[in-house]
């Protein structure tokens, strides 16, 4: 049966910058409705978003009232009447719920859709479900085994493997939740030396100190570092840069929004993501690597979580652990001196994004999966 109408439920699409996949699906002739919380708080003390209904071509944004504006996706309770009315009125050919399988909105939406005979697909990033509370693990397993899903989408291979342990015969496909915009042509700003970018929260798991230690071993080379991100470790990291006499080469920008990032990419040769795996966490995707590759920046990443599968052979991956600083230092030294290899990797990275991670590619991969699983 050809799919014509879909409802996708997720708090992710509150932010208009995250709707590229939805617009790409609508451009393929689908009627796409994004069901989102009517109100959302970015953090306990943060600002509250108030969403309004809107339509752009085949894409409709449909806000649904929620019981409490907590900013915690797994605990968001949608108004049942409003959610049920949406599904009854739209009668979509498919409902995709892009929250974790154990989350409250997933249970709400899948139960309602099942009563109405609407096929359901759920999404998961979770590569460490064993660390969830017992009740959440039970709910997750029940959703994947007994909710009569037609399919599940995982954001990376580790999450897919975890889901397969409990999903039985449910088809599972690895597809990113979001794609990135790929500029039609590259803009490059001339500069001296190697221009390196780090994008991410300044916390231990993101490994910014590994990058600074590696750069300290390349002090004799010509390089600059741009840090786009904020977090509790900033003071410690600035002190580390000062201790290694790197402060003059490091530019600290704080939080940088998506629109502001576009102005940074033409001046960057590399984007480095030196994340650390912990007992409860591994890097689930690496969106900044993908965005950088789309703009011609070479991806350099640790072996944490999904980063190797994102980079593939179109960038550089170093192994986590005791030798990470030395290996990263050698990679930075090599890339700083081999201009031919930089050009090759930049071209390979952009081609990989166009094939797998652009908004159009993610939409096409999603649509192909739906076509396989919808009866």
Count CB neighbours of 204 within 10 A. 13
Residue 115 has pLDDT above 70, yes or no: yes
The pLDDT of residue 70 is 65
Read off the pLDDT of each residue in 317-336 and give the average, rounded to a whole number: 95
In 119-245, which ranges are E strands? Answer: 120-124, 151-154, 172-174, 194-199, 223-228
Residue 190 is classified by DSSP as: -
Residue 131 is classified by DSSP as: G
The pLDDT of residue 219 is 87
Q: What is the pLDDT of residues 137-183, one digit of tens each?
A: 999 999 998 888 999 999 999 999 999 999 888 999 999 999 999 99
Residue 116 has pLDDT above 70, yes or no: yes
Query: In whole angstroms, what is the distance from residue 152 CA to residue 163 CA?
Result: 8
Count CB neighbours of 196 within 10 A. 26
User: Backbone dihedral region of 81: left (phi > 0), alpha (psi from -120 to 50 degrees) or beta?
Assistant: alpha
Give the gyration radius of the chain's Cα atoms. Answer: 22
Band (pLDDT 50/70/90 cuts) for residue 131 is confident
> Considering all CA atoms of the chain, what is the largest pairwise distance in Å, rounded to the nearest integer?
67
Instruction: Please name the residues in contact with 207: beta carbons below 8 A apart, sequence gap of 6 or more.
Output: 273, 274, 275, 276, 302, 304, 324
Residue 200 is classified by DSSP as: S
Band (pLDDT 50/70/90 cuts) for residue 257 is confident
293 and 314 in contact (C-beta within 8 Å)?
Answer: yes
Read off the pLDDT of each residue in 75-90 and give the average, rounded to a whole number: 94
Helix (H, G, I), strand (E, B) or coil at 49: strand
**Tokens representing residue 207 in the block:** 């490994």
Residue 273 has pLDDT above 70, yes or no: yes
The pLDDT of residue 127 is 87
The pLDDT of residue 243 is 96
Measured in whole angstroms, how far is the alpha carbon of residue 370 from the centre of its chain?
20
Count CB neighbours of 181 within 10 A. 15
Query: In whole angstroms, what is the distance from residue 307 CA to residue 285 CA?
Result: 6
Residue 198 has pLDDT above 70, yes or no: yes
Instruction: Please name the residues in contact with 279: beta carbons below 8 A apart, sequence gap of 6 or more.
Output: 131
Read off the pLDDT of each residue in 75-99 and give the average, rounded to a whole number: 95
The pLDDT of residue 284 is 93
Residue 107 has pLDDT above 60, yes or no: yes
The pLDDT of residue 132 is 87
Read off the pLDDT of each residue in 22-28 and give the average, rounded to a whole number: 97
* DSSP per residue, 246-287: -GGGEEEEE---HHHHTTTGGG-SEEEE-----SS------H
- Ordered structural domains, the chain, with CATH: 5-179+358-373 (3.40.50.2000), 194-356 (3.40.50.2000)
The pLDDT of residue 258 is 80
Q: What is the pLDDT of residues 51-78, one digit of tens each?
A: 999 999 999 999 999 986 666 788 889 9
Read off the pLDDT of each residue in 198-224 and give the average, rounded to a whole number: 95
Q: What is the pLDDT of residues 223-252, one digit of tens each?
A: 999 999 999 999 999 999 999 999 999 999
**Tokens representing residue 109 in the block:** 């939406």
Residue 259 has pLDDT above 90, yes or no: no
End-to-end, the C-alpha distance of the chain in Å comes to 7
Residue 84 has pLDDT above 70, yes or no: yes
The crossing angle, in degrees rounded to 10, of helices 134-146 and 157-167 is 80
The pLDDT of residue 41 is 78
Band (pLDDT 50/70/90 cuts) for residue 295 is very high
Percent of the chain having pLDDT more than 90? Answer: 82
Q: Which among 309, 262, 261 has a CA at the least distance from the CA of 286? A: 309
Residue 208 has pLDDT above 70, yes or no: yes
Read off the pLDDT of each residue in 76-85 and give the average, rounded to a whole number: 94
Exposed / middle / buried, residue 69 (Cβ in 10 Å: 0-12, 13-18, 19+): middle
The Cα-based distances of 218 to 7, 193, 321, 329, 345 in angstroms read 51, 12, 20, 7, 21
Q: Which among 258, 194, 184 has a CA at the least distance from the CA of 17? A: 258
Percent of the chain having pLDDT more than 70? Answer: 97
Instruction: Please name the residues in contact with 21: beta carbons below 8 A apart, sequence gap of 6 or more.
Output: 177, 178, 179, 359, 362, 363, 366
Least-confidence region, from 5-9, 41-45, 294-298: 41-45
The Cα-based distances of 127 to 75, 244, 291 in angstroms read 19, 36, 23
Least-confidence region, from 19-33, 66-80, 272-286, 313-327: 66-80
The pLDDT of residue 1 is 62
């Amino acid at each position: 049966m050809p799919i014509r109408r879909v409802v996708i439920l997720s708090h992710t699409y509150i932010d208009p910058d995250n709707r590229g996949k939805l617009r790409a699906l609508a451009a393929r002739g689908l009627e796409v409705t994004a069901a989102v919380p009517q109100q959302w708080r970015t953090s306990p003390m943060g600002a509250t978003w108030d969403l309004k209904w809107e339509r752009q071509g085949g894409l409709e944004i449909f806000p649904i009232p929620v019981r409490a504006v907590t900013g915690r996706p797994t605990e968001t309770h949608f108004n049942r009447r409003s959610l049920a009315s949406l599904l009854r009125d739209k009668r979509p050919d498919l409902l995709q719920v892009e929250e974790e399988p154990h989350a409250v909105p997933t249970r709400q939406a899948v139960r309602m859709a099942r009563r109405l005979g609407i096929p359901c697909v759920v999404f998961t990033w979770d590569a460490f479900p064993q660390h969830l509370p017992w009740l959440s693990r039970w709910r997750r397993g029940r959703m994947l085994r007994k909710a009569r899903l037609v399919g599940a989408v995982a954001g990376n291979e580790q999450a897919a493997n975890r889901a397969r342990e409990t999903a039985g015969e449910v088809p599972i496909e690895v597809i990113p939740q979001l794609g990135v915009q790929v500029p039609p042509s590259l803009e490059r700003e001339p500069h001296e030396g190697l221009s390196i970018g780090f994008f991410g929260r300044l916390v231990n798991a993101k490994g910014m100190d590994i990058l600074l230690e590696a750069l300290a071993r390349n002090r004799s080379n010509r390089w600059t570092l741009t840090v786009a991100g904020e977090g509790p470790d900033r003071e410690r990291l600035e002190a580390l840069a000062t201790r290694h006499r790197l402060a003059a080469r490091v530019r600290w920008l704080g939080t940088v929004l998506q629109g502001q990032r576009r102005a940074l990419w033409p001046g960057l040769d590399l984007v480095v993501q030196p994340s650390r795996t912990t007992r409860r966490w591994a890097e689930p995707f690496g969106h900044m690597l993908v965005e950088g590759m789309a703009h011609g920046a070479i991806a350099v990443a640790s072996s944490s979580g999904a980063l190797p599968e994102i980079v593939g052979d179109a960038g550089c991956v170093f192994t986590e652990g005791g030798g990470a600083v030395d290996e990263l230092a050698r990679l930075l030294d090599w890339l700083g001196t081999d201009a031919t290899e930089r050009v090759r990797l930049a071209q390979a990275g952009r081609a990989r994004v166009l094939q797998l991670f652009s908004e159009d590619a993610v939409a096409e991969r999603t649509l192909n999966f739906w076509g396989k699983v919808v009866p």
